[in-house]
Amino acid sequence: MNNVVKNFEYIKNLINNNNAKIIAISKTFSYEKIKPLVDYGHNHFGENKVQEAFLKWSNIKKSTPSIQLHMVGKLQSNKARLAVELFDYIHSIDSEKLANEVSKYEKLLNKRNKYFIQVNIGNENQKAGIHIDELDSFYKFCKNTSLNIVGLMCIPPNDNNPKKYFAKLYKLNNLLKLQQISMGMSADYRIAIQCGSTFVRIGSAIFGDRSVK
């Protein structure tokens, strides 16, 4: 069995009794590296650059309609049209400008995607995301633009205590009565699942070292 598939099966078995879905973060890897997992039947893949994702996935999505592509990186508003066209989920809605742009292109392209609001859960100056005290009003703004907000997303501070941030995001998600929540990566996905994550974003634990493509 291919090593990528072995790694995926190992992780899948660890979380088998949970409702969490695995987003295989395939950014920077060639399609040849990813293909065994597609052939295995996995559907959820994540990219963080629109142009790279378009070159890698546009033809594959046409031939394999079951593929669900997730934009997990920072999305610039000038890439909104292509992102709306290509992706099924966007995890990084973090400004009114971006919300307006994706809403505009949804109407233009007659497409309905699923969106997560990125929350700056640790109030870090260097990170993107909506601050907690602005979340309620921003959520209402997104709903008024007709975006299908399905949940919240966060990247916790690197302080070796992700559980408290995941628990905080889970509480905020519940307050907004949202059904999905995107949190947890290769180093902390098991903690995220314990805290209620429904989508975990796992790259290196599946595909290996990104310097070896």
pLDDT, tens only, 63-87: 999 999 999 999 999 999 999 999 9
Q: What is the mean pLDDT of the chain?
A: 94
pLDDT, tens only, 31-73: 999 999 999 999 999 999 999 999 999 999 999 999 999 999 9
pLDDT over threshold 90, residue 18? no
pLDDT over threshold 70, residue 16? yes
Q: What share of residues in the chain are helix, strand, coil (percent, to 5)? A: 45, 15, 35
User: Of the given ranges (50-59, 102-111, 203-212), which has the lowest mean pLDDT?
Assistant: 203-212
Give the count of beta carbons closer than 10 Å to the beta carbon of residue 42: 22
Q: Rounded to an integer, what distance in angstroms lies between the CA atom of residue 86 and that of residue 200?
A: 21
At residue 212, the pLDDT reads: 55
CB 22 within 8 A of CB 44: yes
At residue 196, the pLDDT reads: 95
User: Of the given ranges (7-11, 12-16, 37-41, 140-144), which has the lowest mean pLDDT?
Assistant: 12-16
CB 207 within 8 A of CB 4: yes
At residue 39, the pLDDT reads: 95
At residue 45, the pLDDT reads: 98
Domain spans, the chain: 3-207
Q: Rounded to an integer, what distance in angstroms lies between the CA atom of residue 83 and that of residue 44?
A: 16
At residue 14, the pLDDT reads: 87
Q: Rounded to an integer, what distance in angstroms lies between the CA atom of residue 130 and that of residue 94?
A: 6
How would you label 135-159 residue by residue, b for 16+ Cβ within 10 Å and e otherwise?
Answer: beebbeebeebebebbbbbbbbbee
Domain 3-207 part of CATH 3.20.20.10: yes
- Say what the pTM is: 0.95
At residue 211, the pLDDT reads: 64
Which one has a higher pLDDT value, 159 or 29?
A: 29
Residue type (1 letter), 180: Q
Q: Rounded to an integer, what distance in angstroms lies between the CA atom of residue 15 and that of residue 94?
A: 29
Mean pLDDT over 152-169 rounds to 93
Mean pLDDT over 143-168 rounds to 94
